Structure 1
Amino acid sequence: MPVTPLSSLLPALGAVPFVRELAAHGDRPAVITRDGETTYAELADRVARTAARLGTGRRLVLVVGANTLDSLVAYLAALHAGHPVLLVPGGHDAAVASLVAAYDPDVVVGPADGGWRIVQRRAASAHDLHPDLALLLSTSGSTGSPKLVRLSHANLQANAESIAGYLGIRDTDRAATTLPLHYCYGLSVVNSHLARGAALVLTDLSVADGCFWELFRATRATTFAGVPYTFDLLDRVGFAGMDLPHLRYVTQAGGRLAPERVVRYAELGRRAGWDLFVMYGQTEATARMAYLPPDLALDRPAAIGVPVPGGAFRLAPVADHADPAVGELVYAGPNVMLGYAESPADLALGRTIDELHTGDLARRGADGLWEIVGRRSRFAKILGLRIDPQQVEALLAAHDVAATCVGGDDELVVAVAGPGDPRRIRRLVADEVGLPPRAVRVLALAEVPRLASGKPDLVALRALADAADTPAPTPAASSSGDLCRLYAEVLDRTDVTPDLSFVDLGGDSLSYVEMSVRLERELGHLPANWHTLPIAALRAPARKPGRRRSLETSVALRATAILLIVGSHIPLFTITGGAHLLLAVAGFNFARFQLTGADRRDRLRQIRSSVLRIVLPTAAWIGAVMLVSDQYRWSTLLLLHGALRPDDVPDGWHFWFIEAVVYLLIATAALLGLRRVDRWERRRPFALPLALTGVALLGRYDVFGLDARHDLPSALVAGWLFTLGWAAARADGVRQRLLVTVAAAATVPGFFGQPAREALIVAGFALLVWLPTVPSLGVVNKVAGVLAASSLYIYLTHWQVYPHLRDLPLVALAASVALGIAYAALVNRAWRWASLLTTGHERRSARTTAD
C-alpha cells in the first residue's frame, strides 16, 4: 500500500475543527452501512486522500449531496482542504444543472457511470471567494434556486457543538440518516454526531421501508430525525409497536408538529424509554435555533422551547397585529449565516447580517418558553381580509382535517390530503375566517406535494390549483416501465404522481392483487413493503437472464385457497381449510389497506367502502338466484343466516365466510370509531390485534358454553383467525413474528379435529409472517393474480355451478372459476361506472357551491 505524504493529510488552516479532528477518534466506528463499517481513522484517511485530489488553492466545489459514503467523503474532503462547498440535491438533475449554470463551480463532484467522479473544470478558481465562506445551501423552500445561504466555518462548528450539547450526544450514539444530506436538518445530524465521535448509520431508505428498521435494529442505532411528514409515515408503518431496544432519542424539526402529536410521541417515548426533542430552525441559522426540553413536551407541546446554547431571541414589532405580545421572531447567535448569495459575485462578500429575522410571528410565555403563532410571509389579503393560512390549517386540524392552505389574490386554496367533504370544509373555513364560500376553494388530493425536506411544496400546490379546472387526460396503460401510468391504469385514477404510494392512492386488497403481479412483471422483482413506498422509489434493476420470478405471499395464498375450496366442494379432491385460511388473509389485508395513516373518519370511510364492495355484489348475486330458484331465503340475502339459523334454508350456510368477514369488519369499525381505541391502535398496532385475538379465543374455545346452546355465528367462533391475521401484518421483528407463529400453532390444532386441515392453516400463517414473497414463474403469476383478484366472486358463484357438473369434476372446477372471473369483471366495471358518476356529481356540486 503506498504511503500517503504527511502534508496531504494536514487540513487547511481554515478547515472546520470537527472535520480537522476526525482522525482523533481512532478506531471508533464512524459510518455504518449495509456493506459494513468505516472507522474514524479510515474515514479520515479517505477524506485526506480526496482532499489531496482537490488541491490546496481555494476553489468552489459543487458536491452532489446523497446519503452515501462517497458523497459524505466528498463533502468532508472539500471542507478539510478549505474549499467552499456548494451542496446540491442528489437525484435531482434539473436542480444540479440549474446551480451549475448559475454559479459555474470550479470542481464538480458527483455520481457518474456507476461510480463517483471528480471533474476538475479549471485549475484555479474563477471566483473571488471570501476567506470565511465554507458552505452554500439552498433554503428548504428554494431547492435549485440561485438564492443560496452563505455559511462560514464558524457557523458549522458552532451549530454542531450547540446541537451536540443540548442533545447530549455521546460517542456511543449511532444516528440513522432519515433525511437528505443536502437538507440543512439532515446535514446537522451528520455534523453534530461527527463532532462528538458518534457513528452515522448511513442509508437512503425511507422509514416507510421495513428494511430501514431491520438495518436500524441490526446496527443498534440510537436516534433518528424526522420532519412532520416523517411522523405521518411512522404512524402508517406502526412505529408505536416496534421493538427498538437501543433507541435513545428522536428529534423533530422542519415544520410544526401538531401539539397533540407531540404529546402522543412524548408519551410513547416516556413509556418506551426514549426522549422526544422538538426543535426549531432554519437554513439561515445553519439548522437549529431552539429546542423544547423533553420533560416539557407533555405540558407545553405547542412551544418551540428555549434558544440553543449561544443563541438569543427578541421580538420585532409587527404593524397592525391584533396581539401586542406577538412580534416577528429575531435570532442572534454564532450560527447565523453570513448572508444570502444570489450570484457568483456574492461569494466575495463577508458578513452582511448580524441577526436573523425569521419571518415567523411568535410570543414568549410567562414560563420563558417561546411559541410560534404564524408565518408573516404567508399572510394573504383576500377580498380585503388579512388571512393567516397557518391558522386556517390549525382550525381544520381541530376538526380532523389535514390540510395545507395557500392564499391568492381572490381566493384561499385549501388542499386536503385524502377523502373529505369539500362542502363541509368550505363551510368551516368560511364561517371561521369570514370569507364568502366562493372565495374558499377546496382541492382534494391523494397527497399534498412535498419538498425533499418533507415540507409542503407551496409552489407545486399553486400549480396544481391553477391546473385543477383543466380535465386531465386518462392515462393509457404502458409496458415501457412508466410506473405512474401502470398505477393509474390499475387504480383507475388520473392524479398519480411519483411521490405517492399504492396506499396513498387508496389501493385496496382487490387492486393489490393485480398491482403486485403486474409490478413484479415490470420490475422483475417485488420490493418489500412496496405498497407503502413512493412510486419514485420503485426502480427496475437490469434484468438478468434466467432471473427467478416471485409472487406476493398473500396473493399466492388467496389463489391456492379458492382452488382448494371449490375443488373440495366438487369434490375433485378433499383438501379442506381454504376458507379459514382466507379468513386469516382477510385480517392480514385489512391491517395493510384499511389501517393506514389517514385520520379516524377516513379510516371508517375506507372500511365502509370495503364492506359495500363485499355486500353489494353478494346481495346482487343471491337476489338473482332467488328470482329463479327457492334455494335461499331473505335471511341469506341479508347475510343473517349465521345469526338466525332458519330450519327451512339448508343451503344458507353457503355464505358463512362472507357473513363472517362482513360482521368482523363492522365490529372492527365500531371499535375503531372510538377515539381511545383508534389512538391505542396507532400507538400499539401489534398489541391491539393480539389483545382482540385473546378475546376472540373465548369464542373459539367456547369458554362460556354459548355455542352449544345458541349455535353462534362463525364470526364469533372463528374470528380469532381474522385478528391473528391482522397481528401477522403488524408483526415487526423476529420476536413478534415468532409470537404470531406460535399463537397459530397453539390455537389452530383441535379446532376441527382434522390434523391435515389444521396443518394447512398453520402453514399459511407461517408463510404470511415469514415470507413476503414465494418463488414463482411468470405464467403462474398471471394465473394466480386473476384467481386471487376474483376469489370472492368465485366463492360466491361456484355454488350454482359445480352441482350440475359433478360427473365431470375438472369441467366443474373450470366452469366455477370461469363464472367467478366473469362476475368479477362485471362487478369491477359496474363499480368504476358508479365511481365516475359519483365523482362527476361531486365536482358539479362543488362548483355550484363555489359559484
Structure 2
Amino acid sequence: MIPAPPLACPDTGHDLGPATFAGSLARHGDRPAVLTGSASLSYRELADLVDAAADRLGPVRRLVLLAAQNDLDSLVAYLAALSSGHPLILVPADKPGSVDSIAAAYRPDVILRSGDGAGRPAVEEVRPGTSHVLHPDLALLLSTSGSTGSPKLVRLSYANLQSNAESIAEYLGIRSEDRAATTLPMSYCYGLSVINSHLARGAALVLTDLSVVDPCFWDLFAARGATSFAAVPYTFELLDRVGFTGMDLPHLRYVTQAGGRLAPEQVREFSRLGRRRGWDLFVMYGATEATARMAYLPPELAETAPETIGIPVPGGSFRIDPVPGLDDGELVYSGPNVMLGYAESPDDLSAGRTLTELRTGDLARQHPAGIYEIVGRRSRFVKVVGLRVDLGQVEQVLSGLGVAGACTGSDDGLVVAVEGDHDERLLGKVLAQSLGLPRPSVDVHGVEHLPRLGSGKVDYPAILELAATRAAPAPTFDAPASAPDEGPADVRKIFAEQLEHDDVTDDSTFVTLGGDSLSYVAVSVRLEKALGNLPPDWHVRTVRELMNPELTNPGKPPQQRRRRFFAPLETGIVLRALAIVFIVSTHVGLFSWQGTAHVLMAVAGFNFARFQLTGERLPRLRRQLRSLGRVVVPSVLFIGAAYLLTDRYSLANVLLLNAIIGPEEVTTQWHFWFVEVLVYILAAAAALLAVPWADRAERRFPWAFPLVLTGVGLLERFELVDPEVPNTGPVLWLFALGWAVARSQGLARRLAVTAITVLTVPGFFDNPNREATLVVGVLLLIWLPSIPVPARLHRFVGLLAASSLYAYLTHWLVYPMLVDISPALAVAASLAAGVVYWALSMRVMAALRRWKRTLPGERRQDDCPRQAPGRDRGSWWPGLGLPSRRW
C-alpha cells in the first residue's frame, strides 16, 4: 500500500492542498490511465491534458460547475479543477434542467462541459475572478437527491476525497494493473469513488457510458481486459437479462455493489457465482455525506452474512446510539471522509466543518462477530392509525412473499408498488393483516417496473404519485354542440375543409386527397352526420359514389332515412377514443385498465394498410412520409418544450431516440415510448415498401405480406431474437397483425387472423386482464366494422379519437399538476389539453399547406393517380377486380 500523504495541518486542521490522486498524475508515468473503445491514454498524457485545462481556469480560485458525463473531457475537467484548487459542483450533463437549476442557485464563476472529445473541455467563463467567498477546505459539491436539481448539496473537502479513495483502494486491494469499467455516472458519488480510488493507485479506467445490457459494453470490457465493475441493485437484474452468468471474463477480479440493499439471496447467488468464476463480490454501504463508502462486507462473509453491511472501512468507525421507543439504535459513523456539512446557498460555501460525525438515519444492530446489519430507516417510519410502521420492513415482507416491490407513504396510509402480475387486492389484504393495519390504509399498485432514479435507486416520490383519491367522482362530459345538419351535397365541402384541398372533384377520394389516420376520424364523423351511414370502404370511394343515396342508405327513400338514438361508429375510432381515456386514467390513477396502448399499435397497423397502401410506389411513399411527418413534428415540438420546461426528459427524447439510446431503467424518459416505437415502425415500413421488389410483393400478396411481417415480429414476441430496445415490448408483431386484419376479406382469412391473435397474445404480459384487453381489441377490429354509439356522442368520440396522439403527449405534463386536487379533473384536463394541441396543430399544418400551394411550380393535384369511378376498391387482389365479401 502506498502511504497516504499528510492530509491536514495539525495546527489549523485545514487541508494542505488538492487531493494527491488528482494533483500527482504524472508520477505514474506511461502506465495506462484511460482506455476507451478507440484510444489509450497514459498517466503522463492525462496529466498534460489536466494541466492545460487547469491553466484555462486561471490562477484565481473560483467556483466551477461541471456538466459531467462519462467521457474524457469530463474526466479532465474534474481533475483540472481538483488539482488547481477550484471548488467544483458536479451535475449530470443529461439533465439540463438540473444544470440550469444548480447554476441559477449557486451562480458559478465558470461552467465546464464536454468539448471535442479529445480531453479539451468547453469552458464558459461567467465572470472573471469570483463573486464568492470559498472556504480553503472546500473541494467538491455533490447532490444527495439524484438528478433533481435540488439546491441542497454536500460539501466535501480534499481530505474527504483523498482519504476515502485510499480507504477504498486498500480494502479492495486495487493495484496498478487493475482496470475498472465506468458503469455508473461520475456525477454520482459511487461512480466517482471508482475513479478516485483507481487513480490513487495508478490503475486504469475503461471509460464508457455504455450500459451493461449493451453487448458493446462487454466487447469493450473483454477487449480492454477490465478487472472490475461497479453495480447497484438494479444492475444485477440487468445482468440476469444479458446472460452474465455464462460470460467468459478471464480478467474479472471483483464486482462491487452499493447504492441500496441487495437482497440476501442475490448476494449469496452472485457470491457463489464469483467463487466458481474466480472473482469476488464486495457488498458496500455508504452515502454521499461520507464521500462514498462507510462499510464493506468482506467477500468471505457474503454467503454466511449476506444480510449485513460488514465492517467499517479503514480509518472509519461505527457506534449505535439508542432511539427512544425502538429496540434498535441509529448507526453513527466517524472518519476522515465525513463531509464538511451541507450547502443550500452560495453563502454556505464559506463555511468550514460543521460536523465531525455522520448520523446515518439507519437503524442497525451489531452482530457478535463485529459486523453490522441495517434493520430499518429511522426516517422511513410512518404512523398509520396510531401504529408505527417501518416502510423497510414492509419491503422485507414483500420480498419474503417472493414479490419485488417498494413501499412509501404517509400517516394517511401506505403506497406499495409491486412488479409483475399480482392480485393487488389480495396482496393488500395480506400486508394489512401482517402489519396489523386496516385494509383501506394499504394501497397496492401493480407496475411493469419499479420507477428508478438515474442512480438505479427506487424513485419513492414517483411511487407516492401512484396514490389516487378513491372518492373522486367519475368524469362527465357534455357532448359538444351539434353543427348544422349537412347533406349529401356537402361531401365535397367536407373533404375540402378537413383535408385543406381546394381542388376536390367528383372523382376525388379521401386517400387520393392525402387523407391519413389523423384526419380520418374528423372526416368520417362529419360524413356520417351528413349521410347517415358510411360503407366500410368509404375512404376509397369517390365523391360521386358517396353522394349516391343508394350507397349510403340502400333501398330507403330519403324521407325514411331518420336518425336513430344509437348509430354505428367505426370500430377503429371507438377503440382510439376508449384507449386514450384508459391510458390517461390509468396513469393518473383514476382507475387501472392496462393493455390499450398495445391495442392502439394494432389499430395503427390497421390504418396504415387502409390509408397508406394505395397508388403507385413513389406517390404512396411520399404520402407515407407526409403522414410520418404529421406524427413526428408535433411530437418533437411538444417533447422539446417539455425538455426545456422540466428536467424529466433528455435530448434523446426530443430526437425520439430514447428507446434506442436511453436508460434501461424505467424513468420519466420512457414516457413517450409508444410514439418513438410507432415512428420507428412507420419509417421502417416506408423504407421497406420503397424497395421495388418489396413493393411488388405487397401488391401481389397483400394478405400474405403482412402475415410474413407478423411472423418476423413473433420472433421478438417469443424472445427468439432480441432487438435490444428495453421496456417497449415486441410491438412490430401487433402492428403487422393489424395490417393483416385490414387485408382479411373473407371468412377464412378472418378466422386465420383470429387464430393467430388467440394463440399468440396469452403469456405476452403475464397479466390475464391486459391480455384479454388486447385480444378483445383485435377481435373487434376483425369482426365488427362498427360499434353502436349514441348519435349525440359521435362528434365527442371522434374528437377524442382524432386527438388521441396529442393527448398521449400532453397528459404527462398536465395531470401531475391536478392529480392531488382530483384525479377526475386531471383526466379531463389532460384530454382537453390534447384536443387543444390537436386543434392548434391542425390549423398550423393547414396554413403551411396553403402557403406551400402558393409557391411557384407547386403541383395542385395529388401525386396519387385517380381511380376510375366504379372500380371495386374492396378487392383484395389488385388489378383483377375480384369483389370482396363482407362478413
Aligning the two structures, in what range does the TM-score lie when normalised by the shorter sequence?
A: 0.5 to 0.7
Matched, 1:200 2:209: no
Alignment match, 2:717: 589
Contact 1:266/1:294, CA 8 A, preserved across alignment: yes
Is there any run of 5+ residues in structure 2 with no aligned partner, and where? 1-14, 476-515, 520-575, 588-593, 609-623, 633-654, 674-679, 767-874
Task: State the 1:564 CA deviation.
Answer: 9.6
- Secondary structure of residue in 1 paired with 2:370: coil
Match of 1:319 in 2: 324
Query: Per-residue deviation at 1:272?
Result: 2.4
- SS of 2:89's partner is strand
1:488-637, aligned counterparts within 5 Å?
A: 493-494=583-584, 536=669, 551=684, 586=714, 589-591=717-719
The structure carrying a bigger helix percent of its residues is 1
Structure 1 counterpart of 2:165: 160
Which of the residues 383, 397, 400 maps onto 1:398? 400
Alignment root-mean-square deviation, CA: 5.3
Tell me how far 1:394 sits from its aligned partner.
1.0
Give distance in 1, aligned partners of 2:585 and 2:721. Answer: 19
One-letter code aligned to 1:41? R
Q: Give 1:233 shift.
A: 2.1
Task: Please tell me whether residue 36 in structure 1 is matched to residue 39 in structure 2.
Answer: yes
**Amino acid paired to 2:239:** L
- Counterpart residue type for residue 426 of structure 1: G
Q: Out of 260, 264, 274, which is 2:265 matched to?
A: 260
Report the AA paired with residue 264 of structure 1: E
Query: Partner residue of 2:433?
Result: 431
Counterpart of 2:458 in structure 1: which amino acid?
P
Deviations 1:760-810 (A, max 9, x none): xxxxxxxxxxxxxxxxxxxxxxxxxxxxxxxxxxxxxxxxxxxxxxxx996
Tell me the SS of whatever aligns to 2:293: coil
Contact 2:658 2:669 (C-alpha < 8 Å) held by counterparts? no
- Indicate the SS of the match to 2:379: helix
**Distance (Å, rounded) in 2 between the aligned partners of 1:198 and 1:401:** 40
Secondary structure, counterpart of 1:377 in structure 2: coil
Cα shift at 1:127: 2.0
Cross-structure match for 2:79: 76
What is the number of residues matched between the two proteins?
Answer: 601
Which of the numbers 321, 328, 331 marks the counterpart of 1:329? 331
Report the equivalent of 2:22. Answer: 19
Measured after TM superposition, the shift of residue 62 of structure 1 is 1.3
Change (3 A) 1:471 1:51: farther
Written as runs of structure 1 = structure 2, the 5 A alignment for 1:665-744 is none
Alignment correspondent of 2:255: 250
Counterpart selection for 1:125 from 130, 133, 138? 130
Q: CA deviation at 1:50?
A: 0.7
Report the Cα offset of residue 110 of structure 1: 2.1
Distance 1:528 1:384, change over 3 A: closer
Question: 2: CA distance between counterparts of 1:477 and 1:79?
Answer: 57
Q: Deviations over 1:105-129 (max 9, x none)?
A: 2222125899942122233322222
1:31-55 C-alpha deviation (Å, 9 max, x unpaired): 2223422221111101001111112
SS at structure 1 position matched to 2:359: strand
Alignment correspondent of 2:445: 443
AA of the residue aligned to 1:406? T
Is the Cα–Cα contact under 8 Å of residues 229 and 256 in structure 2 kept in the other structure? Answer: yes
Match 1:88 to one of 78, 88, 91: 91
Question: What are the superposed Cα offsets for residues 113-159 of structure 1, whole Å, 9 maximum, x if unpaired?
Answer: 99942122233322222211111111145742222111111110111
Task: State the distance in 2 between where 1:69 and 1:122 align.
Answer: 25
SS in 2 for 1:424: helix
Aligned counterpart in structure 2 of residue 50 of structure 1, from 39, 50, 53 = 53
TM superposition shift of 1:584: 9.1
For residues 285 and 880 of structure 2, what CA distance do their matches in structure 1 show? 64
Q: Distance in 2 between matches of 1:38 and 1:194?
A: 13
| Matched-pair contact (CA < 8 Å) for 1:169–1:198 | yes
Q: Indicate the SS of the match to 2:467.
A: helix
Going from structure 1 to structure 2, the CA distance change for 1:21 and 1:388 (only over 3 Å counts) comes to same
Asked if structure 1 preserves the Cα contact closer than 8 Å seen for 2:227 and 2:251, the reply is yes
Aligned twin of 1:789: none
Residue number among 146, 151, 165 corresponding to 1:146 in the alignment: 151
Offset, 1:352? 1.6
Q: Which residue of 2 aligns with 1:306?
A: 311
The question of whether the paired residues in 2 share the 8 Å contact of 1:472 and 1:494 is answered with no
The verdict on how the C-alpha distance between 1:346 and 1:527 changes in structure 2, with shifts beyond 3 A counting, is closer
Call closer, same or farther: CA 1:181–1:416 in 2, change over 3 Å. Answer: same
CA distance 1:117–1:658, shift in 2 (3 Å): closer
Distance 1:469 1:216 in 2: 54
Give 1:593 shift. 9.3
Counterpart pick for 1:294 among 299, 310, 335: 299
The question of whether the paired residues in 2 share the 8 Å contact of 1:525 and 1:550 is answered with no
> 1:235 is paired with a residue of what secondary structure?
helix
Distance 1:526 1:111, change over 3 A: closer
Partner of 1:377: 379
2:636 aligned partner: none
Give the Cα separation in 2 of the matches to 1:89 and 1:471: 42
Identity score, percent: 52
Match for 1:181 among 179, 186, 199? 186
8 Å CA contact 2:64, 2:89 repeated in 1: yes
Paired with 1:507 and 1:217, the residues of 2 have a C-alpha distance of 40
> In the superposition, relative to structure 1, how do residues 524 and 227 fare at CA in structure 2: closer, same or farther (>3 Å)?
closer
Q: Is the 8 A contact 2:700 2:878 kept in 1?
A: no
Match for 1:333: what amino acid? Answer: G
CA distance in 2 between partners of 1:161 and 1:220 (Å) = 23
Alpha carbons of structure 1 residues 135 and 526: separation in structure 2 relative to 1, 3 Å: closer
Give the whole-Å Cα distance in 2 for the aligned partners of 1:210 and 1:813.
50
Give, in whole Å, the separation in 2 of the partners of 1:472 and 1:155: 56
2:717 maps to a residue whose letter is: N
Contact 1:396 / 1:402 at 8 angstroms: preserved in 2?
yes
Separation in 1, partners of 2:721, 2:598: 5
2:233 to 224, 228, 233: 228
CA distance in 1, matches of 2:207, 2:200: 16
Q: Which has the larger radius of gyration?
A: 2
Q: Summarize the alignment of residues 348-427 of structure 1 with structure 2, pairs less than 5 Å apart.
A: 348-427=350-429
The 1:266/1:180 distance shift into structure 2, 3 A limit, reads same
Unaligned runs of 5+ in 1: 1-11, 480-485, 498-503, 541-546, 632-636, 638-653, 670-807, 824-851
Q: Which residue of structure 2 aligns with residue 271 of structure 1?
A: 276
Partners of 1:204 and 1:495 lie apart in 2 by 36
d(CA) in 1 for partners of 2:881, 2:271? 57
Report the Cα distance in structure 2 between the residues aligned to 1:356 and 1:462, rounded to whole angstroms. Answer: 28
> Structure 1 residues 471, 72: closer, same or farther in 2, change over 3 A?
farther
Relative distance call for 1:812 and 1:92 in structure 2 (3 A) is same
Q: Which is further off, 385-394 or 121-130?
A: 121-130
Q: TM-score, normalised by structure 2?
A: 0.58
For the residues of structure 2 that align with 1:121 and 1:403, how far apart are their CA atoms?
45
* Correspondence for 1:696: none
Residues 404 and 41 from structure 1, CA distance in 2 versus in 1: closer, same or farther, beyond 3 angstroms? same
Is contact 2:876-2:882 (8 Å) kept? no
Distance 2:16 2:365 in 1: 42
Please tell me whether the aligned partners of residues 167 and 313 of structure 2 are also in contact (alpha carbons under 8 angstroms): yes
CA–CA distance in 1 between the matches of 2:278 and 2:309?
Answer: 22
Distance 2:433 2:211 in 1: 40
Q: Which residue of structure 2 lines up, in the alignment, with residue 103 of structure 1?
A: 106
Q: CA deviation at 1:505?
A: 9.4
Contact persistence 1:26–1:41 (CA under 8 A): yes
Secondary structure of the structure 2 residue equivalent to 1:151:
strand
Amino acid at match of 1:266: S
C-alpha distance in 2 between matches for 1:91 and 1:472: 39
Given candidates 63, 67, 88, the residue that maps to 2:70 is 67
* Distance of aligned partners of 1:292 and 1:46 in 2 relative to their CA distance in 1, 3 Å threshold: same
Structure 1 residue 184 displacement after superposition? 0.5
The 3-state SS of whatever aligns with 1:50 is: helix
> Residues 183, 467 of structure 1: CA spacing in aligned structure 2 closer, same or farther, 3 A cutoff?
farther
